[in-house]
Amino acid sequence: MTDVLDTAAPAGITVTPLSGHIGAQIDGIDISRPLSPEALTTIQDSLNRWKVVFFRDQDLDHGAQIAFGRQFGELTYAHPHDDTPPDGYPEIYTVDPRRFNEQYGISDEEARRIRKYSYTNGWHTDVTPAVNPPAGSILRADVVPAFGGDTTFTNLVAAYGSLSDGVKQLLDGLRAEHFYGAGGNRLSKVSTFGNKIEKNRLVAHHPVVRVHPVTGEKGLFVNPVFTDHIVDVSPLESRWILDFLYAHLARNEFTVRFKWEPGSVAFWDNRATAHLGPQDLGHVDVDRVLHRVTLIGDVPVGPDGFESQLIEGVPFRSAPVFGN
């Protein structure tokens, strides 16, 4: 591993690692235009190595963001519980507290009691209640505050790799149940949104450790927002295991923190990371609007060959998961 510029990148492109385990900034690529084979390979290789890559000063609209994402695979519908993506752009999921509050009739008083600048308030991997969570997510900044509002990412492969062999052996054979509303997610308790989730339940059993389908690396695959419990163990044992893993995956040495600017884009491997939205804006009245597309994912597989099981709902694809 190097702590300097990636000298393997093609001429004119630089890949700058941002921390010891995760995150790299890529410069010299205009991602609003079709990528050259060399640029595409550089981004994919950097993503495999650093798990999340960042671009600055990009000029993207919805169409360009969708076109960029499609060069890496088929895109999902905006979000399993979002039935109002921008007109003509069903792949776009907009992260905007005012839009969310209007969509679900959340009063100003209710909004003050819940997270305002992210649909969830804890570490999470995107849409793990689906049997095939997204392979990757691409998030671009539209409107961001002058201060605060950072996103933090953690490397779940590095977190797993640091564990002792005995703990790895234990985890390699465990499965966990994921669903919306697990982990005390406060947005899921809002009546209209909670009713929508309950009416259209999405539940899956995943391996606690998944094998990355491209790199072959093993990584933790639990998160405090969507993972409810370890199956086939007692509730006390489940809570003990999960509490340990949640604290472990959030350790600083596995993380990188990203400061958003207009034109910033983050592209993360959803199979090997978790992320934490802003934790410092709940008391500040500022605008923060970002737009996300996600790549259709495969069904996770554990070290013992266990494939994730769909318990309720349908796979996450390019069509809406549920009817309006």
**In this structure, are residues 226 and 180 in contact, taking their beta carbons and an 8 Å threshold?**
yes
Residues 152, 253 contacting (CB under 8 angstroms): no
Spatial separation of the C-alpha atoms in residues 105 and 100, rounded to whole Å: 8
In whole angstroms, how large is the CA radius of gyration of the chain? 19
Q: Is 227 helix (H, G, I), strand (E, B) or coil?
A: strand
Q: Is 124 a catalytic residue?
A: yes
As to burial, measured by CB atoms within 10 angstroms (0-12 exposed, 13-18 middle, 19+ buried), residue 162 is middle
Q: How many Cβ atoms are within 10 Å of 320's Cβ, its own excluded?
A: 18
292 included as an active-site residue: yes
Q: Which one is catalytic: 178, 271, 275, 288?
A: 275
Per the structure block, which two tokens stand in for 187?
């947005």
**Cα–Cα distances in angstroms (integers) from residue 177 to residues 31, 157, 158, 168, 225, in the given order:** 37, 20, 23, 19, 12
The DSSP bridge pattern shows strands 218-220 and 209-211 to be antiparallel
CA distance 151 to 273: 13
Residue 22 is given by DSSP the state S
- Please give the structure tokens belonging to residue 2: 């190097």
| Residue tagged active-site, from 21, 79, 81, 124 | 124
The DSSP element (H or E) to which 196 belongs, if any, is helix 191-199
Reference 263, options 97, 78, 96, 57; nearest CA is 57
Helix ranges (H only) for 12-127 are 37-50, 62-70, 97-103, 108-113
DSSP one-letter string for 27-58: ES--TTSPPPHHHHHHHHHHHHHHSEEEE-S-
Catalytic residues, by residue number, are 124, 126, 275, 292
